[in-house]
Copies of this chain bind each other. A is one copy, B any other.
Amino acid sequence: MTVNAVAAPPRPIPAARYRERLSAARDLVAERGLAALLVGVGADLRYLTGYEAMPLERLTMLVVPADGPVTLVVPRLELTPARACPAAGAGLVELLAWEETDDPVVHVGRLVRASTGRAAPAGAAAGEPIRVAVSDRLWASFLLRLQEVLPEARFGLGSAVLGQLRIVKDADEIALLRAAAHAADRVVAAIAGGRLIGRSEAEVSREVRERLLAEGHERAEFAIVASGPNSASPHHEASARVIEAGEPIVLDIGGTFGGYGSDITRTLWVTGADPVHRPYHEYLALFAVLRAAQAEATHAVRPGVPAERIDAVAREIIAAAGHGLHFIHRTGHGIGLEAHEEPYLVAGNGEPLREGMAFSVEPGIYLEGRFGARIEDIVVCTADGPDVLNQAPRDLFVVTGE
């Protein structure tokens, strides 16, 4: 197989956005009475600064205080890439480089205390504990050290501050999500149009990853190829199982493009040359229900509708067909700088959808030991209803696979 890179490169988020985001984050830190928000490597850091730091055991941490400058604490040998990140390039953050034999957590502790005007740890007598928020995915190794260095602090989650910012995507983010979706659409088309019979799931999965990269993705994050009975396991990993004629394949693939996620699922049925291997009628009936559920759930997307309502719409249709117990996961998850983020379309989440929210709509039906099916699109909530980013057809892809 030859895969040639064809995609246009992603259009980066403009520096002005980082200014807006940092300013909004600081306002929220102050509003919530926090001493500081401490952001480790990951999506929150990328959101606020554009800095794509590697997840290292060496601490990189953005300190967003209620008061005083925003500081990016970085290991000295990461100073060059840190300086080159959009927020640093635009002068929005100060850099503090620590040396290979320093304890960087002590630097962070000092910055937090500086922002509260406290020079030393406050004992019980010193009054109220200070409150600090840390990014949700900060590692325990850093959090436990911070708790030691700041014993006077109560720690909470950064999503309390950043969640409401990140959950609504701006036009630049939606453009990247759309480009990511279109790239993934093309990979689905290529896989569905290629040879499948006689290849292992793992081989096809590897081709998916190569094609995602060739389509301009920086990373191919997952490439589920679940054939035959494996299609009944929602998060099946591609295995050594060889694909045969007369069975379904659930293809659930995605990665990042300009930092933003793609995530699409389509279901294929591989026939080979012999018409005896056409889809079972039972499978076609099941798929028709799923198709209707996915379409109707998507159609229900509009501002003000509770997130759980989208889940309920899909679930009611599937349950009405007698498959309620076979739809064993929520209907969707938000997507952006992370593959799974708020809002979750799940029972119990009454949060109303807002314009600019982006999420998957992906009901599935799984008959354990036999077969399953899933359809997934990325959908943006707009004032006018759903904007479906994926364009690949949603019908069962009946292909020869030869």
- A residues sitting closer than 8 Å to B (CB atoms) are 1-5, 52, 54, 56-57, 76-78, 80-81, 100-101, 134-141, 143-144, 155-157, 159, 203, 206, 209-210, 213-214, 222, 232-237, 328-330, 340-341, 346-348, 368
Bound-state CA distance A341–B141 (Å) is 13
Residues of B within 8 A of A138 (CB): 139-140
Residues of B within 8 A of A235 (CB): 54, 77-78, 80-81
Q: Look across to chain B and name the residue whose beta carbon is closest to the beta carbon of A346.
A: B100
Bound-state CA distance A213–B208 (Å) is 11
7 A-B pairs within 8 Å (CB atoms) are namely A2-B2, A77-B329, A81-B235, A100-B328, A101-B346, A136-B139, A138-B139
Q: What 11 new A-B contacts, CB under 8 Å, besides A80-B232, A136-B141?
A: A1-B4, A57-B340, A77-B234, A80-B368, A81-B237, A100-B329, A140-B143, A140-B155, A143-B143, A206-B213, A209-B213
CB distance from A220 to the nearest CB of B (A): 8
Check A139 against B139 for contact (C-beta < 8 Å): yes
Residues of B within 8 A of A340 (CB): 56-57
Check A157 against B136 for contact (C-beta < 8 Å): no
CB distance from A240 to the nearest CB of B (A): 8
Contacts known (A157-B144, A234-B77, A340-B56); A330 close to B100, Cβ less than 8 A: yes
Bound-state CA distance A235–B85 (Å) is 13
Bound-state CA distance A347–B101 (Å) is 7
Residues of B within 8 A of A210 (CB): 3, 210, 213-214
Residues of B within 8 A of A54 (CB): 222, 235
Check B348 against A101 for contact (C-beta < 8 Å): yes
Contacts known (A137-B139, A140-B136, A157-B144); A80 close to B236, Cβ less than 8 A: yes
| Residue in B77, B78, B137 whose CB lies within 8 Å of A140 | B137
CB distance from A265 to the nearest CB of B (A): 14
Bound-state CA distance A233–B75 (Å) is 12
Top 8 nearest A-B pairs (CB, nearest first) are A80-B233, A136-B141, A138-B140, A77-B329, A2-B2, A137-B139, A77-B234, A140-B143
Check A137 against B144 for contact (C-beta < 8 Å): no
Residues of B within 8 A of A346 (CB): 100-101
Residues of B within 8 A of A155 (CB): 140, 144
Bound-state CA distance A340–B58 (Å) is 10
Q: Look across to chain B and name the residue whose beta carbon is closest to the beta carbon of A2.
A: B2
CB distance from A57 to the nearest CB of B (A): 6
Residues of B within 8 A of A233 (CB): 80-81
Bound-state CA distance A76–B144 (Å) is 30
Residues of B within 8 A of A135 (CB): 140
Residues of B within 8 A of A137 (CB): 139-141
